Homo-oligomer: A and B are copies of this chain.
């Protein structure tokens, strides 16, 4: 396997992009990369997207996007793993470069959700759950997470307020991210009082959707030997779990998140204590909590202990959602995994301004598809 490095990044603000098509959104971060590097094309483009077939009536996004950015004749393909589609595209690009098959690969994650009525989006999101045993019972993704949160609170003895710190931290960080859609601070009181979506999950507990795209250019690490600092992908792993939550022995344990994190630690030859920041999948505070436990950042049932500034702010012990996370940046589902990678890379480059994690050298991202059915973990490091 060749070592793989991130040469450049691009991203659009997460927003309601009424004036831009799916294609324009997807093209933007790629064209940013072309402009910054002087490249006009690449060998391969991997497009992570969850729901363009239903939300935008357009599939074949590989060719579609390659055509738009002028990368004619490049290899280009669409990769999908529900809400972890962005990371799935990143891993596909990583494998192609790692194999020595291609020398320049772009991974881009894109989603355009706000054009469609919200009931259509809720239905489109639900296609990532089990069609026969979850979706057809009328369980939306918020409802699935609400069931998990209620059970978690009962079994482990936590109250709703104990999760507030996660959302407060994300919003505090998002304030300084020009690409964040919900870039305002929130208080504990606001969190507790916000409108219920599916009890006990309320609006400020859940990540809002959005339109957006983020991309990176991957190349063989050996080609960047002379750069002052280079960001290497030191772990890339994926694992799955039952698609239906009801089929899990312990619904409160994300085994795919655990397996994927363990593989990643093994590849990078380090453990959770070596991670300087963690771009966590905070679609809901409950899934964030379960991810933290599965990855070894908290003991089982003790995740909410981390939900305070001392632990998770950029100056804390294990900084989370450092640019706002899904919660404050926004969660354009198929793009989210790529935003996580881009933000982790920015941290390692030391470009995060008021959100900078001092001396960050090792960053981890975990991107969760479905209710933990498909999980990707990546670890990046910077060398200088």
Contact B67 A242 (CB under 8 A): yes
Residues of the B chain whose Cβ atoms lie less than 8 Å from the Cβ of A79 = 77-80, 92
Task: Compute how far the CA of A60 lies from the CA of B85 in the bound complex, rounded to whole angstroms.
Answer: 9
Q: Is A88 in contact with chain B by the CB < 8 A criterion?
A: yes
Q: Are A67 and B239 CB-contacts (below 8 A) given A60-B82, A101-B1, A127-B60?
A: no
Residues of the B chain whose Cβ atoms lie less than 8 Å from the Cβ of A57 = 127, 131, 135
Query: Which of B62, B76, B101 is within 8 Å of A98, CB to CB?
Result: B101
Interface size bracket, A side: 35 or more
Q: Which residues of A, 343-384, contact B by the 8 Å Cβ criterion?
A: 369-370, 373-374
Q: Is A148 in contact with chain B by the CB < 8 A criterion?
A: no
Looking at chain A's contact residues, the main secondary structure is mixed
- 13 further A-B contacts with Cβ under 8 Å, apart from A1-B99, A72-B242, are A21-B132, A50-B59, A56-B131, A60-B373, A61-B80, A67-B243, A67-B373, A72-B240, A73-B239, A73-B241, A75-B237, A75-B239, A98-B99
Q: Is A14 in contact with chain B by the CB < 8 A criterion?
A: no
- Across the interface, name the chain B residue whose C-beta is closest to A58: B131
Q: Are A374 and B60 CB-contacts (below 8 A) given A73-B256, A101-B98?
A: yes
Contact B373 A127 (CB under 8 A): no
Task: Compute how far the CA of A79 lies from the CA of B61 in the bound complex, rounded to whole angstroms.
Answer: 11
Residues of the B chain whose Cβ atoms lie less than 8 Å from the Cβ of A54 = 53-54
Task: Compute how far the CA of A247 lies from the CA of B72 in the bound complex, rounded to whole angstroms.
Answer: 12
Q: Is A100 in contact with chain B by the CB < 8 A criterion?
A: yes
Q: Is A128 in contact with chain B by the CB < 8 A criterion?
A: yes
A373 nearest CB across to chain B (Å): 4
Residues of the B chain whose Cβ atoms lie less than 8 Å from the Cβ of A78 = 79-81
**A23-57 vs B, Cβ < 8 Å mask (1 yes, 0 no):** 00000000000000000000010000011011011
Rank and list the top 3 A-B pairs by shortest CB-CB distance, nearest first: A99-B99, A63-B373, A75-B238
Query: Which of B74, B131, B369 is within 8 Å of A63, CB to CB?
Result: B369
Task: Compute how far the CA of A150 lies from the CA of B222 in the bound complex, rounded to whole angstroms.
Answer: 51
Residues of the B chain whose Cβ atoms lie less than 8 Å from the Cβ of A71 = 240
Contact A53 B101 (CB under 8 A): no
Copies assembled: 2
Contact B373 A74 (CB under 8 A): no
Residues of the B chain whose Cβ atoms lie less than 8 Å from the Cβ of A135 = 57
Task: Compute how far the CA of A255 lies from the CA of B132 in the bound complex, rounded to whole angstroms.
Answer: 42
Contact B58 A127 (CB under 8 A): yes
- Across the interface, name the chain B residue whose C-beta is closest to A237: B75
A262 nearest CB across to chain B (Å): 10
Q: Is A152 in contact with chain B by the CB < 8 A criterion?
A: no
- Across the interface, name the chain B residue whose C-beta is closest to A21: B132
Query: Which of B77, B98, B100 is within 8 Å of A81, CB to CB?
Result: B77
Q: Which of A50, A60, A135 has the most CB of B within 10 A?
A: A60
Q: Which residues of A, 250-293, contact B by the 8 Å Cβ criterion?
A: 255-256, 259
Residues of the B chain whose Cβ atoms lie less than 8 Å from the Cβ of A76 = 81, 238, 240, 374
Task: Compute how far the CA of A130 lies from the CA of B244 in the bound complex, rounded to whole angstroms.
Answer: 34
Q: Which of A62, A124, A130, A239 has the most CB of B within 10 A?
A: A62
A5 nearest CB across to chain B (Å): 15
- Across the interface, name the chain B residue whose C-beta is closest to A238: B75
A89 nearest CB across to chain B (Å): 9
- Across the interface, name the chain B residue whose C-beta is closest to A375: B63
A115 nearest CB across to chain B (Å): 12
Query: Which of B67, B73, B240 is within 8 Å of A75, CB to CB?
Result: B240
